[in-house]
Chains A and B, each alone.
Chain A
Amino acid sequence: MNSFYTYFAEIFRGLKSLLIGMSVTGRYFFSPGQIVTQQYPENRKKLKMFDRFKGDLIMPHDQNNQHRCTGCGICETNCPNGSIEVISDRIELPDGKKKRIIDKHIYHLSMCTFCGLCVKTCPSNALAWDQTFEHAVFDRSKLTKILNKPGSSIIKDIE
């Protein structure tokens, strides 16, 4: 008689536990409260990433097409994966001194691990993160970017 009783008690306890679980799912089914799913491709116009989001490395230029990069190469030595190449030239100033300016600041997005060491260690704050995140392209060569714009020069007071 006792085992008979425990057998049925077990069945009812099991049913009760299932109903408790289903009460939770039922509550969300009938009153979802807040819908958390983002309708991604439809909302891409409104979608705004956080300001600190590490999407893409850029070199900010001002309205005169001037940047802050001195071509020192600290970002290149600090990059763990070799995704930054700085190609610099030496030009002769009118007073006879030689000065280094960047020719190309090449950034390989395909090799970048977004560790942020280049932005952190840059002594003149020439690099920053952009908030773009749709990096898919059809050709791998498009992921190699030249960060300084053509014809750009360095802001005067940066040394």
Chain B
Amino acid sequence: MKEIINLPVHSIEEEEYHINMGPQHPSTHGVLRLVVTLQGEIVKKVQPHCGYIHRGIEKMCEKDTFQQIIHLTDRMDYLSAHINNHAVCLLVEGALGIEVPERVKYIRTIIDELARIQSHQLWWSSFGMDLGGLTCFFYGLRDREHILDIFEESFGSRLLHSYYTPGGLMRDIHPNFQKRTKEFLKYFRKKIRDYDKILSGNIIFTERSKGIGTMSKEKAINYGVTGPSGRGSGWACDVRKKFPYALYDKVEFREVLRDEGDTYARYMVRMDEMRESMKIIEQLIDNIPEGDFTAKMKPIIKLPAGEYYQRVETARGELGIYCISDGNKTPLRMKFRTPSFVNLGVLDIISRDMKIADLVAIGASLDLVIPDIDR
């Protein structure tokens, strides 16, 4: 009897155990598998397992010409498809030394910012839904529909556009484009106030996001967390400011920075970025100059042999494209530095010693797009 009493008692709080979150889990927004080590309800370790939607886009680029690569980059980060296309176009134009017409630069900048707004709208919707507010999902998608209609009217598709080509655009914008965009801006200025009322000030939301998943500026820099997630930790990493492309050196906008580094800071950075994007569009939409929608390009593009690197700021962070060319019409090697893959790396560190419900909030605040992780 005495021996039985002296046995060490193992309660479930002391023992660590593993559970799979994903690959089919609604809060991972895709096929991401997280092996979570738990002690009771406390997260001790998160091991992401990638590769469930790996399509070998980098390898497929090696058989495609530079015009054909465009449609593959759509399928990496499908929410900022235009901005991915922009990166390839800038790479080719920079390597060949082509100056695109001023009209193309205006249109590209406007469309990039529209893509950023619709990406953040979808993020806002799904963030609210992950934390239990289904109303956000309906309101966010309702407003995103307006941008998708603008896209559909001008480019013919809603999600995967392949609208940019090296040297310009596939075709000119639709005559209704400017009118519709201005209508949208007027509409969305009102609706974004509703967003703040529903979620930003909500006591349940703030309790679940403030002080959760705090990432210091050092950690953000060490792990290379770019985009709104990095700027929520106070790291000024906006490629549009640091290495301006298109018209970003001519328009006025503020690089949104917050110092708290928690989930709420990352949330507020994205909310403010939507307003900044609207400000950029408003400066440009009335001044689109007349002219060609494409520069003169040869039908077969051959880059001179060498190495090239081009970076752009997508809705999730810095997208870098590293390309080695041997002078042929297809690249020898393409490497994409996608923002979601790099941002995923910090998930383990910032979610340690949090509750498992907080892991959902942290994962949503990093705004991961799974095809962007796996390529």
Chain A residues within CB distance 8 Å of chain B: 13-15, 17-18, 20-21, 23-25, 36, 49-50, 52-54, 78, 80, 113-117, 120-121, 129
Q: Would B152 and A21 count as touching, CB distance under 8 A?
A: no
State A25–B198 Cα separation when bound (angstroms).
8
From A14, A36, A52, give the contact of B145 (CB < 8 A).
Answer: A36
B interface bracket (residues with beta carbon within 8 Å of A): 20 to 34
Chain B, residues 157-175, CB within 8 Å of chain A (1/0): the string is 1001010010000110010
B64 and A23 contacting across the interface, CB-CB below 8 Å: no
Which of B65-73, B237-245, B340-348, B351-359 sits within the interface? Answer: B65-73
Task: Flag if B202 contacts A21 (CB, 8 Å).
Answer: yes
In the complex, given contacts A17-B206, A20-B201, A120-B170, what are 13 additional A-B residue pairs having Cβ atoms less than 8 angstroms apart?
A: A15-B203, A20-B197, A36-B142, A36-B145, A52-B153, A52-B174, A78-B68, A80-B72, A114-B162, A115-B70, A115-B162, A116-B162, A117-B162
Question: B201 to nearest A CB, angstroms?
Answer: 5
- Which residues of A have CB within 8 Å of B157? 53-54, 114
A17, A78, A116: the one contacting B202 at CB < 8 Å is A17
B135 located at the interface, meaning its Cβ lies under 8 Å from any Cβ of chain A in the complex? yes
User: B198's contact among A24, A117, A121, A129, by CB below 8 Å, is which?
Assistant: A24
**Interface residue from A24, A114, A120, A121 paired with B194 (Cβ < 8 Å):** A24
| Known contacts A36-B142, A52-B155, A53-B156; A25/B135 CB under 8 A | yes
Binding site for A on B (CB under 8 A): 64, 67-68, 70-72, 135, 142, 145, 152-157, 160, 162, 165, 170-171, 174, 194, 197-199, 201-204, 206, 299
Query: How many Å from the CB of B121 to the closest CB on chain A?
Result: 14
Total residue contacts A-B, CB cutoff 8 A: 70
Output the nearest chain B residue to A27 by Cβ-Cβ distance.
B194
In the complex, what residue of chain B is closest to A120 when comparing beta carbons? B170
Determine if B201 and A54 form an interchain contact, defined as CB atoms under 8 angstroms apart.
no
- Residues on the A chain within 8 Å of B199, using CB: 21
The prevalent SS among residues of B at the interface is: helix
Which A residues lie within 8 Å of B160 (CB)?
113-114
Docked Cα-Cα span, A98 to B68, in Å, equals 33
Output the least CB separation between A47 and chain B (Å). 13
Nearest-Cβ distance from residue A101 to partner chain B, whole angstroms: 23
- Which residue on chain A has the smallest CB distance to residue B64? A80
Contact of A18 among B64, B171, B174, B203 (CB under 8 A): B203
Known: A13-B203, A20-B201, A50-B153. A116 touches B68 (CB 8 A): no
Structural contact, A17 and B174, CB atoms closer than 8 A: no
Residues in chain B near residue A50, CB distance under 8 A: 152-153, 156
CA distance A4 to B68 in the complex (A): 67
Please name the residue on chain A nearest to B153 by beta carbon.
A50
